[in-house]
A and B are shown apart, each in its own frame.
Chain A
């Protein structure tokens, strides 16, 4: 709640505090040190990727690169090897992209309709299903991995990208459904009732009232899913095979491969490249990202 503004002449508000009070130095000092610590890995990643191997062997990890050298980036993107494939991270990037787009669209479509049905059209036992769904978000994935392998194999989708899209859509459902259900519950009921009186049905209200009113929550859901799916490793490594590996799996294979000499600059360049998409999403989205991650904890 914002404080009510008080209008009267002369100085008002609390007594101005000195800028360099001990309290301020303590607060800003601590925050600055902690921030430096948090930024350190990013800094090291970037400078290491811009060095050549000679400098890495000779110097330490903190010193600046002699001349920025983007060769490691080029190599990481287009010619780093994982096993027999030597076409770099680009393959993983496109795989991740092809997994990401349909997964995000499908999971949000399903979850928003689910949330809408739960919030505005509850039916018998709908809350029981919802509770099970939320419990599912906490169950360790390890318990469900293998039966899903069998189901995907039966459907002929095991090791294919489509199968992974399905898995992401399923496991994105609990948190997204919660997000949408809570949002739709907060939409005034009068609106819904008025639309009902005017003869709008399930889909009519959904498309004409709920969706246009809840664009911010759709953006939050997109942010949540893009970062979540892009960062996934477990499902990628289980439900796809070598040429379909998403970027995270490929990155791990490049960096932790036991063959050949370790090229730390290429490894770090590859690491940044993989982290780039969620980072960009994060820095662009700002407060919406916070809202997304808090969705799991702050219940309506």
Chain B
């Protein structure tokens, strides 16, 4: 009986949270419209589950009426903690607007260090408590209620568990390893609230007609159809494909050759490596601007070659719509190959010296050893590097903004820029969401097989 009650308690807790989040995401309003429900039917759902939790606690207390309560001693801390959490939720929600006004502006001297610190703590707490459910006051009240009932559950358990009785489900959740769980709250919030929550939110709203503001009026796949009918998007995709393929092949090739050269037990290895890697420390903005200057036909490479006597020499990739993406590629390669080289070098260093010796004894030429033995052995390094490059390529944004800003015309647009421009420039959120969802799909196509290989393989090793 007790076991089932505890399970029921936990399931209603989870359902209460899920329904809260779903309503917060706007699913509630949509359901009301779609199925012609009265609003209280949806908005009452979390309350229903909270009530169920309360009933469970009551029944739990009845079930363990005559017990001695040996767990009582160690639990007072939890009782106080959860009660404080409930109180905090209630208070912070009511004053969250006031808290938000206390933003830290960092004007040194204006406010004391202590005050600034206090502000930070306040904001941090606010984030912690509201992060997942920050969608309005009524939801805050629900969170407070959940915490309060949880407190009651802890009290009941502390009062009723016998010494020889095994710890129940609730007890396992609150008592075992609780410090680690609390310490991991930011991680859990980020993983679920931001990475999963926000992604789902965006995918969800990509099926709507959202313009200036996100609105839940569904139009099916219209946004996607429009997306693939837009020439700018098609150009973006083409550019990304060209940039991606070239940059993958070239950076792997150059990176590997450079790493192989550095691996020949040469002098000044550190100097060379430092020089080859330094562009990676620079931002894409800096990279883009430098190369914009070097590729400037009036002053840069074209001018220099012309000064040497080749009057008809033209090299103006940034001003020629047909090859502008290669101008960006040059800058991208300059910035990124150093990293690939380092990864490859680490891979080469991981190869057993004996293999080299054996190959030498057998009289296999160096290039053949690389091609036939070393590269196949480095397959995992290559795959990981490819995944890193690929997921970086999909995000290319700053480089293009700095170097060409999509120009000339729209000939160097990329998907990430399309998303940004439609979300924040053209106030056409639906298009932005649809485009970003397509980007997500592209990345998933790369990541999922890789993760499957990686983690599947590792499980076998364990």
Q: Which residues of A contact B (CB under 8 A)?
A: 1, 27-28, 30-31, 34-35, 38-42, 44-45, 48, 56, 60-62, 98, 102, 110, 113-114, 116-118, 121-123, 126, 129-133, 135-136, 138-148, 150-151, 154-157, 160-162, 166, 170, 173, 177, 201-203, 227, 230-234, 238, 248, 251-252, 255-256, 264, 267-268, 271, 274-275, 278-279, 281-283, 286, 289-290, 293-294, 296-299
A141-B395, A143-B440, A157-B100 known; 13 new pairs, CB 8 Å cut-off, are A45-B293, A122-B180, A138-B447, A139-B199, A140-B443, A142-B436, A144-B195, A145-B436, A155-B100, A156-B103, A234-B397, A252-B289, A286-B274
Q: Is the beta-carbon distance between A41 and B291 smaller than 8 angstroms?
A: yes
Complex contacts, A296 vs chain B, CB 8 Å = 388
Residue B63 is within 8 A (CB to CB) of chain A in the complex: no
Q: Is the beta-carbon distance between A275 and B286 smaller than 8 angstroms?
A: yes
Task: Type the 1/0 row for B304-323, where 1 means its CB is closer than 8 Å to any CB of A.
Answer: 10010000000000000000
Q: Is the beta-carbon distance between B202 and A117 smaller than 8 angstroms?
A: no
Instruction: Give the residues from 179 to 210 in chain B that come closer than 8 angstroms, CB to CB, to chain A.
Output: 179-181, 183-184, 186-188, 190-192, 194-199, 201-203
Min CB distance A214 to B, Å, is: 16
Complex contacts, A289 vs chain B, CB 8 Å = 277, 281
Min CB distance B213 to A, Å, is: 10
Known: A132-B195, A155-B130, A156-B103. A202 touches B190 (CB 8 A): no
Complex contacts, B100 vs chain A, CB 8 Å = 155-157
- Which residue of A39, A267, A282 contacts B281 across the interface (Cβ within 8 Å)? A282
- Which residue of A133, A147, A283 contacts B190 across the interface (Cβ within 8 Å)? A133
The CB with the most chain A CB atoms within 10 A, among B177, B191, B385, B437, is that of: B191
CA distance A258 to B339 in the complex (A): 34
Residue B134 is within 8 A (CB to CB) of chain A in the complex: yes
Q: Is the beta-carbon distance between B184 and A129 smaller than 8 angstroms?
A: yes
Q: Is the beta-carbon distance between A118 and B290 smaller than 8 angstroms?
A: no
CA distance A196 to B381 in the complex (A): 38
CA distance A242 to B181 in the complex (A): 40
Complex contacts, A146 vs chain B, CB 8 Å = 202, 214, 423, 429, 432-433
CA distance A234 to B283 in the complex (A): 11
CA distance A177 to B183 in the complex (A): 13
Complex contacts, B334 vs chain A, CB 8 Å = 38, 41
Q: Is the beta-carbon distance between B293 and A61 smaller than 8 angstroms?
A: yes
Q: Which residue of A lies closest to B270 (CB)?
A: A286
Ranked nearest first, the 6 interchain pairs of A and B with the lowest CB-CB distance are A156-B100, A231-B283, A136-B195, A121-B180, A282-B281, A147-B198
Residue B250 is within 8 A (CB to CB) of chain A in the complex: no
Residue B325 is within 8 A (CB to CB) of chain A in the complex: no
- Which residue of A38, A56, A166 contacts B276 across the interface (Cβ within 8 Å)? A38
Which secondary structure dominates where chain B touches chain A?
A: helix
Q: Which residue of B lies closest to A166 (CB)?
A: B127
Q: Which residue of B lies closest to A251 (CB)?
A: B285
Complex contacts, A170 vs chain B, CB 8 Å = 190, 194
Residue B64 is within 8 A (CB to CB) of chain A in the complex: no
Which secondary structure dominates where chain A touches chain B?
A: helix
Complex contacts, A148 vs chain B, CB 8 Å = 194, 198
Residue B394 is within 8 A (CB to CB) of chain A in the complex: yes
Known: A155-B100, A201-B179. A268 touches B293 (CB 8 A): yes
Known: A151-B134, A271-B286. A28 touches B266 (CB 8 A): yes
CA distance A45 to B290 in the complex (A): 7
Min CB distance B256 to A, Å, is: 13
Complex contacts, B342 vs chain A, CB 8 Å = 290, 293-294
Task: Type the 1/0 row for B155-166, where 1 means its CB is closer than 8 Å to any CB of A.
Answer: 000000000000
Q: Which residue of A lies closest to B305 (CB)?
A: A60
Residue B97 is within 8 A (CB to CB) of chain A in the complex: yes
CA distance A131 to B192 in the complex (A): 11
Q: Is the beta-carbon distance between A31 and B303 smaller than 8 angstroms?
A: no
CA distance A129 to B258 in the complex (A): 38
Known: A132-B196, A294-B346. A38 touches B401 (CB 8 A): no
